[in-house]
Amino acid sequence: MQAFDVVVLGAGSAGEWVAGGVADNGGSVALIEALRVGGECPYVACIPSKAMLRSGQARDQARRLADLGGSSAAPALDEDRLAFGAAVRRRDGLSAGRDDGDKAASIVQRGVTLVRGAGRIVGPGVISVGARELGYRDLVVSTGSRPVIPPIEGLDAVPTWTSDQALSAPDRPASLLILGGGAVGCELAQAYASFGVPVTLVESAGQLVGHEDALVAADLADVLRDSGVSVRLDVSVTRLEAAAGSRARALLSDGTAIEAERVILAVGRAPATAGLGLDAIGVTATESGALPVDGHCRIDGQEHVWAAGDVTGIAPYTHGANYQARVVTQNLLGGSSTADYRAIPRVVYTEPPLASVGMTAEQAREAGIDVITAIADVSQMARAATDGAAAGRLVLAADRTRAVLVGAAAVAPGADGWISEATVAIRARVPIAVLAEVVHPFPTFAEAYEVPFRELAARCAEPAEPRPSGATS
């Protein structure tokens, strides 16, 4: 049995980071992966989805070329079908044709032992991959997540895709039904609609992206509708059945029905912890399948077992996984790093994007914070006029008592970039009075911060109004 300082189970974004970081510092590391080094993000998630969105956005911009003064007349575009094929070719090129050869070679060159196969813990300090056993001092579980398959009657009788399949298949469906109004569902809806595919998005909750501010969630729904997507909120699919022409027919909870050539399942993802043999070392996943970790990303009750990425159920984004991976790596190398999740940004990469960080006002109130809010209409800014951008709103939430920002959310052009100002403000607890004095270049969308920051600063300086016992503001 070959022994290592660290064995990393799962070579997604977090696992790749930890393995490489430990090896770079002289540790012996084995990285176990049954599918691809790099996980899903480069091949069937982040990169291909953003590639398809960008291609669709470019096509929409071309349609608006005359309106924006880039041409005296609207340009002639080829058929949606042909353009979709070009977008797929670009997508597959950017995702390396879903071939991890280069990434695998790179991690091996850094001194990591790459073991192909499914790993299973067989006891303290020992993990098996097929007939091979590996010993470890420390184990890092970074197996990521898997798409949730909803328990809908008739699901197996109709043509379906998970998001992974949708972002790797070459097909352009004649019509789509997307189940789930989270980030994945919204991005796929706009991407396909940009190439002329009739898309219906069904979300059982009363708003899209359920944990976000209700105002910006409503703005996002309007963005999708403006893109040609039929957004159905507060309804669910009760049954699916085969229809003529190999189509799917969905019966909805409001008594209506929808037919589509393909159904995309985007109702969420669950931590991939089944079959890992966690019971052999006394680890029990939560009801959702997540591995409970402490602030150091060490699995609860374990001295030498760690977890990072989607498998923890915390900050389920690639940047969240990389952050946890940095924490784990520093601790494996003798440090004492602690994760702080107060300012992990969240983005839906539609055009315009929804970007947020921290808490919503409602979440802040539930946490007992004396919260105050301010809103800016980004669509009225000078840059919105010059760019021909219609959508735009920024919502800020502050702790009146401590006079610091606790949350920000926007649906506006470029918000995925300028949300970073709020991210730093929340992470560093920058006083609102300081934020109110920041000068932004004109004309930029980041100017949207100025008026609401000044409003919040003025309100923080005022005495808080007395509240009846048990009331919240």
- Domains of the chain, by residue range, sit at 2-39+100-146+270-332, 155-267, 346-461
Question: Nearest CA to 293 among 263, 273, 269, 267?
Answer: 273
DSSP secondary structure string for all residues of 98-137: G--HHHHHHHHHTT-EEEES-EEEEETTEEEETTEEEEEE
Q: What is the pLDDT of residue 462?
A: 82
Low-confidence ranges of the chain (pLDDT < 50): 471-473
Is the domain defined by 346-461 classed in CATH 3.90.700.10? no
Architecture of the domain made up of 155-267: 3-Layer(bba) Sandwich (3.50)
Q: Which residue has the tokens 């808490």?
A: 359
What is the spatial distance between Cα 437 and Cα 424, in angstroms, rounded to a whole number?
15
List, in order, residues 6 or more apart from 18 with CB less than 8 Å away: 6, 8, 140, 142, 308, 325, 328, 329, 332
Q: What is the pLDDT of residue 465?
A: 63
Q: What is the pLDDT of residue 93?
A: 97
Strands (E), 185-261: 199-203, 230-233, 237-243, 247-252, 257-260
CB 340 within 8 A of CB 174: no
Distance of CA 410 to the CA centre of its chain: 16
Q: Which residue has the tokens 């039904």?
A: 177
Strands (E), 389-429: 393-399, 404-411
Architecture of the domain made up of 2-39+100-146+270-332: 3-Layer(bba) Sandwich (3.50)
Put simply, whether the predicted model's pTM sits higher than 0.75 gets the answer yes
